[in-house]
Amino acid sequence: MSEYTVDEIMCATLAARFRDGDEVCNGMASFIPVAAIMLARRTHAPGLVWLAGAAGLDPRPDRVPASTLEAPLWRDSVMYLEQFSDFWHYAQNGRNLGIFCVGAAQLDMYGNANNSVIGSDYHAPKVRLPGTAGLGDMGSLGKRLFYWNTNHNPRSLVERVDFRSAAGYLDGGDERERLGLGPGPEVVVTNLAVLDFEPESKRMRLVSVHPGATVEQVQEATGFELLLPDGDVPETTPPTDEQVRLLREEIDPDGLCKREAGVK
């Protein structure tokens, strides 16, 4: 089996979720999702539609750039979508741009996200986070949310977010459905494991653990009780030699994903 690093298994896992013809957006400071998109487009999903930074359509950066919300990310784009009059008119419409890859400072057992404040008082926070930005919309607009987290720990994966700045499955069950919010969080890819949401309760569920990690470690690193799949918990499929080569030599030669994942 090939040598690979944690950012590489995260990229390969995210990439495998993209089907040819899917339409995906990336957000700020998102090296791993951008590398995953570039990897999918170079392998099994050449027709994956990528709206880079929600602005540049099907660009061809020669590598993962120093910023995922700045030129040269948009190099060779076939269209620039103006955010106010173009992007949000397409994105609010369920027919387009179905997948949004995003990170969150806090994510809870029902996939609700918090990028607003740490602490109990919104107006006098212990920590002021950057803000909800597009996630506050995407969570309510029926998008398939692909969460990623390079630091799986009980402070980032919590039983209940301090503040709900994006809607996941709310308090679980059919609450989201009753509000008519459509599809929601679909997967969480972390540095330790892959998780999804159990269809009935909408509680976070372990899908697979990365080779080298154990179910116990993942549970310990999680701030709430994880649901488990029936039978044994499988291992996450590791990246192939070719995927690793593409990531290291062509897609991310500068190792920005490794820096993001804290790989020495």
Partner 1 sequence: MSKVKTLEEAVGLVSDGDVVALQNMATQAAPMALVRELIRQEKRDLGLVCLVGGMAVDWLAAAGAIDRFIGAAVSMETFGLCQQYRKAVEEGRVRVEELSETALNARLAAGARNLPSLPTRGLLGTDLIDVNENLKTFEDPFTGETLVACRALVPDVALVHAHRADEHGNVQIEPTIVWPDLGIFPKAARKTIVTVEEIVDSEVLRRNPDRTVLPGFRVDAVVEVPYGAHPTSLHPRYGYDARFHLAWTKVSRDDDATKEFLDAYVRAPATQADYLAAVGGSERLIEITRT
264 binds partner 1 (CB under 8 A): no
Nearest-Å Rg of the Cα atoms of the chain is 18
By CB under 8 A, the residues from 51 to 70 that bind partner 1 are 51, 53, 55-57, 66-70
Q: Verify binding: residue 85, a second copy, rule CB under 8 A.
A: yes
CB of 40 to partner 1, least distance (A): 16
Q: Are 112 and 104 in contact (CB under 8 A)?
A: no
- 130, 104 in Cβ contact below 8 A? no
CA of residue 264 relative to chain centroid, distance: 22
Q: String of b and e for 143-181 (b: at least 16 CB within 10 Å)?
A: bbbbbbbbebeeebbbeebbbbbbbbbbebeeebeeeeb
Phi and psi of 179, rounded to 5°?
A: -80, -5
Q: Give whichever of 76 and 82 is closer to a second copy, judged by the CB atom.
A: 82
Q: How many residues bind partner 1 (CB under 8 A)?
A: 69
In angstroms, give the least distance from the CB of 161 to partner 1.
9
Does residue 84 interact with a second copy by CB under 8 A?
Answer: yes
For partner 1, the binding residues (CB under 8 A) are: 21, 23, 28-29, 47, 49, 51, 53, 55-57, 66-72, 74, 76-85, 88-90, 92-97, 115-116, 122-137, 139-141, 163-167, 170, 176, 179-181
Q: Kindly list the residues in this chain that would bind a second copy in the complex (CB under 8 A).
A: 82, 84-85
